[in-house]
């Protein structure tokens, strides 16, 4: 009898926690969207989404986020190009080739990387990486604060997510499948790419989803080293102003209830939509590949 009461109490507690979490999440969505959509009473959706002119403090203010969106996508895309291949290589090495001591040492390094505050990475990029870029790419760089700088710093931030989650996915594949492949004469490289990676694709996709959402939502690094220029980049050495840096840099000084105020909330909605759409696409791909 007592055991049933304990189980009932645990069930009620878990249900309550799940409902409370859902209410909080939907409350955040409602809060963002209800304030964000009010900008369309003063700015047309077409101008807001497809104009590259973001001049919220001008006398004739303009609120086009296309340049901000291009900055976010360019920084995120280059970060993934850098971080995902490196993360895969490191994860495969840790899961299949490293010895005990080397595995522990490399894992310790990635754990330290995961604990680095983003403001510290931003400071490093601001002082050292920007100078390095200007010294080594003088024909292409007119400011060291640009897409490349931000992407390099974000890659350091995202690598621990990719490496840890991909390694966990590879280790979750049953060992007998690997051993069967090797016993049939396949080499280690073929076993990894034909057996382990296909079997671990669900976990790998999850790693990419979580890492990408982490990069898209990062604020301090891009605020410090992306350059802050409201322009559509033509090269990876152009300065940009991603969506998150616009919110962080302007929200503290904006007038409450102004068009600028509502536009910043709508930028938050756009970020939320990007993250949600990417997650839904990845989940669909995962399900379709699992059939």
Q: What is the pLDDT of residues 186-243, one digit of tens each?
A: 888 888 888 888 888 888 888 888 888 889 988 999 999 998 889 999 999 999 999 9
pLDDT at 69: 93
Which 8-state DSSP code applies to residue 58? S
pLDDT tens string 26-43: 888 888 899 899 999 889
For residue 71, tell me if it sits in a domain: yes
For residue 1, what pLDDT band results from cuts at 50, 70 and 90? low
Backbone angles phi, psi at 270, to 5 degrees: -65, -45
Angle between helices 201-217 and 259-290 (to 10 degrees): 170
Which 8-state DSSP code applies to residue 117? -
For residue 22, tell me if it sits in a domain: no
In 64-168, where do the E strands start and end?
none
pLDDT at 144: 87
The residue range of the domain holding 286 is: 47-290
Distance from the Cα of residue 260 to its chain's centroid: 26
- How many CB atoms are closer than 10 A to CB 272? 17
Mean pLDDT, residues 171-200 taken together: 83
For residue 175, tell me if it sits in a domain: yes
pLDDT tens string 103-142: 889 888 888 888 888 999 999 999 999 999 988 887 778 8
Is the model's pLDDT at 166 over the cut of 60? yes
pLDDT tens string 48-103: 999 999 998 888 889 999 999 999 999 999 999 999 999 989 999 998 888 888 88
Query: How high does pLDDT run on average in the chain?
Result: 87
pLDDT tens string 40-62: 988 999 999 999 999 988 888 89
For residue 41, tell me if it sits in a domain: no
**CATH code (residue 150):** 1.10.3720.10
pLDDT at 286: 64
For residue 126, tell me if it sits in a domain: yes
How many domains does one find in the chain? Answer: 1
Helix (H) or strand (E) holding 62: strand 62-63
For residue 129, tell me if it sits in a domain: yes
pLDDT at 289: 54
Angle between helices 100-114 and 147-171 (to 10 degrees): 140
């Amino acid at each position: 009898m007592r055991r049933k009461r304990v189980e009932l109490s645990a069930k009620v507690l878990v249900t309550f926690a799940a409902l409370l979490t859902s209410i909080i999440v939907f409350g955040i969505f409602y809060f963002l969207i209800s304030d964000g959509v009010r900008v369309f009473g003063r700015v047309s959706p077409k101008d807001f989404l497809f104009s590259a002119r973001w001049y919220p403090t001008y006398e004739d203010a303009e609120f086009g986020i296309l340049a901000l969106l291009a900055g976010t996508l360019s920084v995120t895309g280059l970060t993934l190009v850098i971080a995902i291949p490196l993360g895969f290589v490191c994860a495969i090495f840790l899961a299949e080739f490293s010895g005990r001591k080397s595995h522990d040492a490399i894992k310790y390094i990635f754990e330290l990387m995961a604990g680095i505050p983003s403001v510290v990475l931003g400071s490093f990029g601001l002082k050292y990486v920007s100078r390095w870029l200007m010294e080594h790419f003088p024909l292409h760089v007119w400011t060291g604060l640009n897409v490349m700088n931000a992407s390099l710093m974000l890659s350091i931030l995202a690598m621990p997510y990719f490496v840890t989650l991909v390694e966990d996915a590879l280790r979750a594949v049953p060992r007998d499948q690997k051993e069967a492949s090797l016993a049939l004469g396949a080499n280690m490289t073929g076993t990894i790419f034909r057996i382990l990676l296909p079997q671990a694709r669900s976990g790998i996709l999850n790693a990419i989803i979580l890492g990408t959402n982490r990069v898209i939502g990062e604020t301090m690094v891009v605020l410090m080293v992306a350059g802050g220029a409201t322009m559509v980049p033509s090269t990876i050495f152009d300065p940009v102003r991603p969506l998150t840096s616009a919110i962080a840099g302007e929200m503290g000084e904006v007038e409450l209830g102004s068009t600028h105020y509502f536009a910043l909330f709508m930028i938050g909605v756009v970020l939320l939509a990007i993250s949600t759409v990417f997650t839904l696409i990845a989940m669909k791909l995962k399900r379709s590949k699992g059939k």
